[in-house]
Amino acid sequence: MLPESSSKRLVALGLGQIYDGVVKDKVTVVIPTLNEAEAIAKTIDEVEAEGYNNILVVDGYSTDRTAERAHSMGVKVSHQHGVGKAGAVKTAIENVETPYMVFMDGDHTYAPKDIWRLLNHTDHYAHVIGARDSRQVERLHRFGNWVISQAFSLLFGVKMTDVCSGMYLLETKEVRKYALEEPGFTVEIELAAQSASRGTLAEVPISYRSRIGVRKLNTWKHGLAIISAAFRLARRYNPILLYSSLACLSAIPATLVLSWVALEQLITHTWHSGWAMLGIMLLLIAVQAFTLASVSILVNHMEKRLMREIKGRE
């Protein structure tokens, strides 16, 4: 059952049902799978029970008949190109024909009843992430997700609490403009990074359940890979904030160290050559970072002006 406030926005139409102007039949629910035979039938049943008729299972060549079970239920099944989650996401983006797509894992952790929460924000955002109820996430994973989300928020200047969530909505037309280069699970961070740089990223709270089947995510291995990817992506998609932060972090200790060296020379006539060298190195780093930030600002302004001109001609 939907909350009463949401039910008031729900209108029955000949083509389906709508949330704030989005017809359900304009949404494809994408379910990436790899050996999810235990959960895939329950997941599909729940999606269909919510009234979503367009379902695409993108299978990573499962060996446990996941694809066969999905196909027997009458849903479209595509075998992905490439490897890992990145291959599944790219394959889905290429094959979805509806204006919107909602990704959700096929392990029964995400509830299709929450999809309406994502759809409610399509008027203003092209990418809406479902922030999981952290109480249902294991403590170690909760901490790792917090670290990653905090780092992402700092690097991209947008407040996010669950950037690693596997349930999110994308506007098909917009996401096809994205350049996806990251492998594996880091592709979802890359999607979020590009959306954040365009100002089209938001998140809403959703529920979360225990998974059915064997977990494929390695906490330490994938966690470190995602954080590393966040810094790479910040350099690519939000260099202004990254280089500005680096400039400040270098300039402050450089000023303190060089001031102390100068005072020591004036008061005690002692020259600390090692500290002076450290201060000069930090100062050079700050100058270089400030220069890169300034260039990035100019490039960013040029890009925005060109985008406005292009939109004006359309």
- Check residue 313 and give its pLDDT: 66
Beta-carbon contacts of residue 221 (< 8 Å; ≥ 6 apart): none
Backbone CA torsion sign across 274, 277, 282, 285:
negative
Is the Cβ–Cβ distance between 84 and 60 less than 8 Å?
yes
Fold of 4-237: Spore Coat Polysaccharide Biosynthesis Protein SpsA; Chain A (3.90.550)
- Check residue 3 and give its pLDDT: 47
Below-50 pLDDT ranges, the chain: 1-16
- What are the backbone angles phi and psi of residue 171, rounded to the nearest 5°? -85, 120
CA 70 to chain centre: 27
pTM for the full predicted model: 0.75
Q: How many CA atoms lie within 13 A of 145 on its CB side?
A: 20
- Provide the angle, in degrees to the nearest 10, between the axes of the packed helices 239-267 and 219-237: 90
- Check residue 83 and give its pLDDT: 85
Burial profile 157-182: b = 16 or more Cβ within 10 angstroms, e = fewer: ebebbbbbbbbbbbbbebbeebeeeb
Nearest by Cα to 223 from 122, 138, 280, 130: 138
- Check residue 287 and give its pLDDT: 86
- Check residue 240 and give its pLDDT: 67
Strand blocks (E) in 151-303? 168-171, 201-206
The tens digit of pLDDT for each residue in 102-139 reads 999 999 999 999 999 999 999 999 999 999 998 878 88
